[in-house]
Structure formats: C-alpha cells, structure tokens
Amino acid sequence: MPQISSLKKIIITVDGWSSCGKSTMARQLAKKLNYIFIDSGAMYRAITLYFLRNNINVYELHQVQQALKQIHLSFQLNPLNGNNEILLNGENVEPYIREMEVAEKVSEVAAIKEVREFAVHQQQSIGRDKGIVMDGRDIGTAVFPNAELKIFMTADNEVRVMRRHKELLVKNPSIQIDDVRSNLSQRDHMDSNREVSPLRKADDAVVLDNSNLTPDEQLSLALEWAHEKINA
Ligand code: CDP
C-alpha cells in the first residue's frame, strides 16, 4: 500500500448551484485525501462583506479598484472543528459572511471582472502545488481548466431550498423559507448569466446529483472518482 505522501497529487474542482452541498462534500473529500480544502465562495462573500461595511458603490469602478487594494484574504485552520476559516484583513469573518445581507449582494459583487481577477489570482496561487479540493462556480472552467478531476454538483431545487433554510434557521429562527428560495433562484440566475466566467458545467466534468444521496453516499462516489484519477 503506497504512503499517502508518495501518491500523485491532483486538483479536484467542485462546481455547481447554490446550496447543493458542494462545500460539505469538498471538505470531507479533502479530509479523506489529506488535501487542502478551499471554499472559493467564502472569498467572494468576504469581499462583499468588506464592500458592505465600507459602503463601496459597485457601479463605481474606481471605488471597487481602491477597495480591492485594501483587502487581504487568507485562510486559517480552526483546530476546534478542523475547518479552514477565512480571514479578512486578519479578522476571522466566518460568522458574518453567511448572513442574508451578504447573500443578497454577493452575486452582484462576484460578477465584477476586477473582483474575479483578484480572487482567481489568489485561488490559482493556492493551488500551485496541487493536493487541493476547491469548490465554487468557475473552478473547473476558469480557475483550474486542467484539473484532473472536475465534479459538477446539482440537486433538486426544492431540496436545496430546504437544506439551506434548515442551515440558516440555526442562527436566525425567524428566517422565512420564501426569502431563502428567492435568494437562491436570484443568485443562480445571476451566476449563470453573468458575462465573466458564468456558472456552467465544464465539458469534462462528471455530474453528481445528490437529491437522493446521503453525505456518506456522495462522499464515497467522489472518493472513488478521485482514487481513479490519482492512480491513473
Ligand atoms: O454556499 P452557496 O453555494 O450558496 O454559495 P457560495 O459557494 O458561498 O458562493 C456565494 C456566491 O459567490 C455565489 O452565489 C456566486 O455569486 C459567488 N461565487 C462565484 O461567483 N464564483 C465562485 N467560484 C464561488 C462563488
């Protein structure tokens, strides 16, 4: 049995619609393979949080460019839960980036060409040494078009709405399912129709529809695909 460290390291991309469980699957997959996990959505959310806090007008290119110069993003391992958490200028902003205020603005911010260039540049440098699982919308198409394994995740619309509602209820008991539904459909529409790197399945991606799969079942499927590529 070869040692993990002696095995070929690959890049695994996980793209797909909002709330279809990409991060859960990508995080577990990375853990099993002893790879780095990067949630690229957290980067767009942290940039959006900075824009909201500093009243950046997204229609003013100069303001956007100046703001990006002030933003430093990094990831830090939380030893309590084993997750890689995002730091915005040194501050751990994980507790704030999942709030509705950010969710309502993030797809608009993520559609800005300069914002994408800023984020994609960092994502590519994090993945330089391979051994990484990254999830997002354009990872298999724009960030790592040569990745060895590309997974495109999808799930039934209402299943996704219910999953995200349940997740948000923990923090905000008054959150309405209709607001969650409209946020997801609005983001999916914007993400797949924007000009720069829209969400789409890469031609060489495998589709994972997890509407009827448990997290364990989807993980074993993905692990099987990963081992095929690592051993190829
Ligand atoms: O968790 P969920 O799937 O709902 O979203 P996320 O992965 O946290 O991403 C939040 C938003 O960031 C998405 O709706 C996209 O607008 C944007 N995003 C993107 O444009 N490109 C990526 N690679 C990742 C996220």
40-53 and 100-110 helices, crossing angle to 10°: 100
CB-ligand 1 contact for 141 (6 Å cutoff): no
Could you tell me whether strands 132-136 and 11-16 are parallel, antiparallel, or unpaired per DSSP bridges?
parallel
Residue 178 pLDDT > 60, yes or no? yes
- Centroid of chain to Cα 135: 4
Percent of the chain whose predicted confidence (pLDDT) is above 70: 97
Q: What is the pLDDT of residues 123-175, one digit of tens each?
A: 999 999 999 999 999 999 999 999 999 999 999 999 999 999 999 999 899 99
Instruction: Band the pLDDT of 225: cuts 50, 70, 90.
Output: very high
Closest residue (by CA) to atom 20 of ligand 1? Answer: 110
* Residue 133 placed within a domain: yes
100-110 and 113-126 helices, crossing angle to 10°: 100
Span from the CA of 28 to the centroid of ligand 1 (angstroms):
19
User: What's phi and psi for 152, nearest 5 deg?
Assistant: -110, 115
Euclidean distance between CA atoms 4 and 184, whole angstroms: 38
- CATH of residue 53's domain is 3.40.50.300
Instruction: Band the pLDDT of 3: cuts 50, 70, 90.
Output: low
> What is the DSSP secondary structure assignment for residue 140, as one 8-state letter?
I
* Residue 6 placed within a domain: no
* Residue 81 placed within a domain: yes
Looking at the DSSP bridge assignments, the partners of residue 74 are: 87
CB-ligand 1 contact for 107 (6 Å cutoff): yes
Strands of the sheet containing 83-88, edge to edge, are 73-78, 83-88, 91-92
Cβ-contact 41, 231 below 8 angstroms: no
154: its two tokens: 């999808």
Q: What is the pLDDT of residues 6-53, one digit of tens each?
A: 689 999 999 999 999 999 999 999 999 999 999 999 999 999 999 999
CB-ligand 1 contact for 18 (6 Å cutoff): yes
Closest residue (by CA) to atom 9 of ligand 1? Answer: 41
CB-ligand 1 contact for 144 (6 Å cutoff): no
Residue 2 pLDDT > 90, yes or no? no
CB-ligand 1 contact for 41 (6 Å cutoff): yes
Residue 5 pLDDT > 70, yes or no? no
Residue 4 pLDDT > 90, yes or no? no
Percent of the chain whose predicted confidence (pLDDT) is above 90: 92
> What domain count does the chain have?
1
* Residue 58 placed within a domain: yes
* Residue 3 placed within a domain: no
- The residue range of the domain holding 219 is 11-227
DSSP helix/strand/coil, 68 = helix
